[in-house]
Amino acid sequence: MKKIKTYYSSAEVMQICDISERTLRYRLVELKKKYKGQPLLLSKQNKKWRIHNSLLKYFAPKRNNQE
């Protein structure tokens, strides 16, 4: 059984959710306001973001590209 990580970096979130860096930045601005007093869920240490795994749903693409 594979252990689920508790915290992800911004690069890992971009890869998991398949989003661009710009999209990640926009979503982080929204989430910073929402989770301002909760450093366990979203924090920045040494210019690197620590994003809790429960917040990954907010980084999912908002539109589905239908082909």
Query: pLDDT tens digits for 9-46?
Result: 999 999 999 899 999 999 999 999 999 988 889 998 89
List the chain domain ranges: 7-59
Long-range CB pairs of 28-35, under 8 A, 24+ apart, other chains included: 30/58, 31/55, 31/58
Three-state secondary-structure class, residue 47: coil
More confident residue, 15 or 67: 15
